[in-house]
């Protein structure tokens, strides 16, 4: 299914006119788990001022002279550990989610004509490529859904930037709607809770639940980014849905990069500390990632497991991202219907 679902460029979907279209936007992925491909991806990613908020004159020489030469081979090694026969896990799961969402919407006659496409910020199909293809197909209404449940300038903000840049090439501008985030939307929380409940079926409920979110520099939050607050709201809502007591769960932030102070507590430090607090079994979920990728599969499921066990832990369980599950597609479909209800009549 994954191989069949994947497509790296937008294309016409039989029976679905382009008048209205949903565009799912995610970060992207290297084309291959090799140093050159990873370097090209990291160059695009880390060159974005939304991601690294340093003066270009200071950052770019450091990026090209030190970061890319050192980081690319190491990251390529990590990608090789999680690469699948059909390719990048992020591309496979993201494409599967696109297809699943299109199927769910297509089963409802009111939304059957709403096309679903995907785009990526830093790899193909780029945001501009997908939007240009939709323009050429006659799209007049666009609903943009960044696949970042918790909104941040470094992710959702980058989507706004690239969509705006792409629309500069349009003469006849479309009706445009953005979904800035869905961190506390009931269908999304319910899908996460169902995923965890299914994981715990038939298992002893003696493990501590750790919710790990991607981190950002603390300075971004100081300047007004809502991301940290939204992560905490997601975690609190999920714990409530699962009826967990405060001692049964905790929150952490992963993927620290650079020397700046990042959001704490850090996931790696937390995993090392839990056994010392008497917690021998941990279940980890990453609610900020719509689909599994390097940061969940290598950083948490592999490296995080090793950290926890070496620190004295006895059981480590990683709960996969929602990926292309029916529950995920249904949750996003409810979200999209709410933002395009007046489109249903045509």
CATH number, domain with residue 207: 3.40.50.1400
Give the count of alpha carbons within 13 A of 290, CB side only.
Answer: 32
Distance CA 56, CA 61 (A): 8
Q: Residue 86, Cβ neighbours under 10 Å: how many?
A: 15
Assigned domain for 251 exists: yes
Distance CA 268, CA 14 (A): 47
In degrees rounded to 5, what are phi and psi of residue 299?
-70, -40
Assigned domain for 330 exists: no
Assigned domain for 311 exists: yes
Q: Which of 82, 117, 152 is the last residue of a domain?
A: 82
CB 114 within 8 A of CB 148: no
Q: Could you identify the residue written with the tokens 């980014």?
A: 225
Per-residue pLDDT of the chain (346 residues; tens, 9 = 90+): 333 334 455 554 444 445 899 999 999 999 999 999 999 999 999 999 999 999 999 999 999 999 999 999 999 999 999 999 999 999 999 999 999 999 999 999 889 889 999 999 999 999 999 999 999 999 999 999 999 999 999 999 999 999 999 999 999 999 999 999 999 999 999 999 999 999 999 777 789 999 999 999 999 999 999 999 999 999 999 999 999 999 999 999 999 998 889 999 999 999 999 999 999 999 999 999 999 999 999 999 999 999 999 999 999 999 999 999 999 999 999 999 999 988 875 5
Distance CA 97, CA 110 (A): 20
Assigned domain for 70 exists: yes
pLDDT score, position 8: 52
pLDDT score, position 205: 77
Q: Which of 82, 99, 119 is the last residue of a domain?
A: 82
Domain count, the chain: 2
pLDDT score, position 12: 42
Residues 6+ apart with CB under 8 A from 21: 114, 115, 116, 117, 134, 139, 141, 142, 143
Distance CA 324, CA 277 (A): 36
- Assess whether 305 and 190 both reside in one domain: yes
- Assess whether 190 and 77 both reside in one domain: no
Distance CA 307, CA 267 (A): 10
CA proximity to 96, closest of 10, 6, 13: 6
DSSP code of 79?
H
Residue 249: enclosing H or E segment and its boundaries? strand 249-254
* No. of helices (H) and no. of strands (E), the chain: 14, 8
Question: According to DSSP H, which parts of 142-185 are helical?
Answer: 156-167
pLDDT score, position 258: 83
Assigned domain for 324 exists: no
Assigned domain for 213 exists: yes
Handedness of CA 186, 188, 192, 197 (dihedral sign): positive
pLDDT score, position 18: 56
- Assess whether 73 and 197 both reside in one domain: no
pLDDT score, position 13: 47
Q: Which of 17, 50, 82 is the last residue of a domain?
A: 82
pLDDT score, position 345: 53
Q: Could you identify the residue written with the tokens 């493990």?
A: 207
pLDDT score, position 3: 39
Beta-bridged to residue 208, according to DSSP, are 282
In degrees rounded to 5, what are phi and psi of residue 182?
-150, 40
Residues 6+ apart with CB under 8 A from 77: none
Domain that holds residue 76: 35-82
Assigned domain for 233 exists: yes
CB 163 within 8 A of CB 130: no
Assigned domain for 121 exists: no
């Amino acid at each position: 299914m994954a191989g069949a679902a994947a497509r790296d460029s937008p294309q016409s979907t039989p029976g679905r006119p382009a008048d209205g279209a949903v565009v799912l936007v995610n970060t992207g992925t290297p084309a291959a788990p090799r140093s050159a491909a990873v370097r090209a991806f990291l160059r695009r990613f880390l060159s974005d001022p939304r991601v690294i908020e340093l003066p270009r004159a200071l950052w770019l020489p450091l990026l090209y002279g030190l970061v890319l030469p050192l980081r690319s081979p190491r990251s390529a090694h990590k990608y090789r550990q999680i690469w699948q026969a059909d390719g990048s896990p992020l591309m496979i799961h993201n494409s599967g989610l696109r297809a699943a969402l299109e199927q769910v919407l297509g089963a409802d006659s009111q939304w059957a004509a709403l096309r679903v496409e995907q785009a990526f910020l830093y790899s193909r199909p780029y945001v501009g490529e997908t939007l240009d293809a939709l323009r050429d197909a006659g799209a007049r209404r666009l609903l943009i859904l960044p696949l970042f449940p918790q909104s941040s300038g470094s992710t959702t903000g980058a989507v706004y930037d690239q969509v705006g840049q792409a629309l500069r090439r349009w003469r006849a501008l479309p009706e445009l709607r953005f979904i800035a985030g869905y961190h506390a939307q009931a269908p999304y929380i319910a899908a996460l809770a169902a995923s965890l409940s299914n994981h715990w079926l038939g298992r002893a409920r003696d493990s501590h639940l750790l919710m790990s979110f991607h981190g950002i520099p603390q300075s971004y939050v100081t300047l007004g980014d809502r991301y940290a607050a939204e992560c905490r709201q997601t975690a609190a809502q999920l714990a409530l849905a699962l009826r967990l007591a405060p001692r049964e769960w905790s929150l952490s932030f992963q993927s620290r990069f650079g020397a700046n102070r990042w959001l704490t507590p850090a996931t790696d430090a937390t995993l090392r500390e839990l056994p010392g607090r008497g917690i021998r079994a941990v279940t980890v979920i990453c609610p900020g990632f719509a689909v599994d990728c390097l940061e969940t599969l290598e950083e948490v499921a592999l490296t995080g497991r090793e950290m926890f066990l070496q620190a004295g832990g006895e059981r480590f369980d990683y709960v996969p991202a929602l990926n292309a599950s029916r529950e995920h597609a249904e949750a996003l479909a409810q979200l999209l219907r709410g933002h395009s209800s007046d489109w249903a009549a045509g």
